[in-house]
Amino acid sequence: MGQRIILAVTNDLTGDQRIHKVAMSLLKVGMEPVLVGRKLPRSLPLDRPYHCVRLHLLCRKGPMFYVFFNIRLFLYLLFCKADRFLANDLDTLMAVYYAGRLRRKPVIYDSHEYFTEVPELVHRPGVQRIWERMEAHIFPKLNRVYTVNDSIARIYQEKYGVTVGVVRNLPMEYRKEPERGTLPETFTGYPVILYQGAINIGRGLEEIIRAMCHLPDMRLIIAGDGDIRKDLEILVLRLGVGDRVYLTGRIPFENLAWYTRQATIGISIEQDIGLNYKYALPNKLFDYMQAGLPVLASDLPEIRRVVEDAQFGIIIGRFDPVYLADTIRTMIQDTDQMMHWHENALKSFPRYTWESQENILLNLLSL
């Protein structure tokens, strides 16, 4: 094998498609990627063609989790065999940066999002300032930095005066056939609305569940896991829409495509809560495109650019449940327009594949 590169994240590696794609691209050119994440009680087993390390931690959430994780990661990086380090997002950067300095290894930073403006921080200015100071201290000293879209790259360049590359989080052109999933019997024969991705605040999930009260002849899949999953399950029970809404829980990304294929439309209705969401470009948009799904999407700059370019859905600026229900019903009932969006999605997808990003990635990593 060639050079060994350590890729660090704070998740358990199960659902992180971006880091998997980076690892697969490195394998193609003879590198030896090693993915380092954390072990959770519900972590699913991994079967990957590269080495994975899951760190065990006693503290799993809250501010102390980030402290203990970075200490544990730092100690691992001090002694592991490595030629270079790749930090994924700000919550791994402290450990990776200082381990790289001590060992005189190149440090690369992949910013999956505008971390200091995530919704979980925008209403907690004290905590936000801590992350901002950490970022400001380290960011200008990094060997290479790249992020997921032009808007976030431009913000970082203006803020820190450094060059920031862009590697968009696009799907692989070809994927292995996913394992068959399961759906409730009550979903048989009904149009299906799909949300896939992280289940966190500001993603329009409460609103779309409330919209299901007005869509008795449709069904909703929420495929994924996250901080507010339990809250959503309680909301589903309280509204009495348990026969229409199915939360899958955590799914290995290799099998997510099965659920995408069961859907009639996909939704990406992130709300403008902080600059991170404002300039988001969710990878689910491209997963929907690959499956030929028409989309209902937020009127946010990067999202609008893709949907209008591919002409495969509707952009909205409102999220009240009645409006969502009316819009979805209108979309699905217009069968000619649905077919037109479906054809546009499939026709546009070849321009939006991970393979189109690989040379950019490898150049940024100086390979």
Write the CB contacts of 135 (distance below 8 Å, at least 6 apart in sequence): 90, 93, 115, 116
pLDDT, position 1: 62
Q: Which whole-number Å values give the CA distances from 9 to 89, 154, 318, in the listed order? A: 7, 24, 34
Q: Which CATH number fits the domain 4-170+354-364, given the four candidates 3.40.718.10, 3.40.50.2000, 3.90.950.10, 1.10.10.10?
A: 3.40.50.2000
Sheet of 165-166: strand order equals: 51-55, 32-38, 4-8, 84-88, 107-111, 144-147, 165-166
Q: Is the pTM of this model over 0.85?
A: yes
Q: Mean pLDDT throughout 252-257?
A: 90
pLDDT at 307 over 60: yes
Q: What is the dihedral of CA 179, 354, 359, 305, to 10 degrees?
A: -170
Q: Which CATH class is domain 185-351?
A: alpha beta
The structural domains of the chain, with segments of one domain joined by +, span 4-170+354-364, 185-351
Confidence of residue 367 (pLDDT cuts 50, 70, 90): low
| DSSP label at residue 188 | T
Stronger pLDDT, 155 or 58, i.e. the higher one: 155
pLDDT at 366 over 80: no
pLDDT, position 257: 93
Domains 4-170+354-364 and 185-351 equal at CATH topology level: yes
Length of the chain: 367
pLDDT at 214 over 90: yes
Considering Cα of 164, then 170, then 172, then 173, what sign does the dihedral take? negative
Confidence of residue 176 (pLDDT cuts 50, 70, 90): confident
CA–CA distance, 94 with 100 (Å, rounded to integer)? 10
Q: Mean pLDDT throughout 17-34?
A: 95
pLDDT at 52 over 60: yes
For 96-137, the pLDDT digits (tens) are: 999 999 999 999 999 999 999 988 888 889 999 999 999 999
pLDDT, position 300: 96
- Beta carbons of 69 and 57 less than 8 angstroms apart: yes
Q: Mean pLDDT throughout 202-231?
A: 96
pLDDT, position 62: 80
Task: Give 307's Cβ-side CA count (13 Å radius).
Answer: 25
32 - beta bridge partners? 4
Which of these ranges, 39-43, 211-215, 284-288, has the smallest mean pLDDT?
39-43
Confidence of residue 175 (pLDDT cuts 50, 70, 90): confident
Confidence of residue 274 (pLDDT cuts 50, 70, 90): confident
Phi-psi region of 328 (alpha: psi -120 to 50; beta: other; left: phi over 0): alpha
pLDDT at 315 over 60: yes
287 - beta bridge partners? none
For 329-349, the pLDDT digits (tens) are: 999 999 999 999 999 999 999
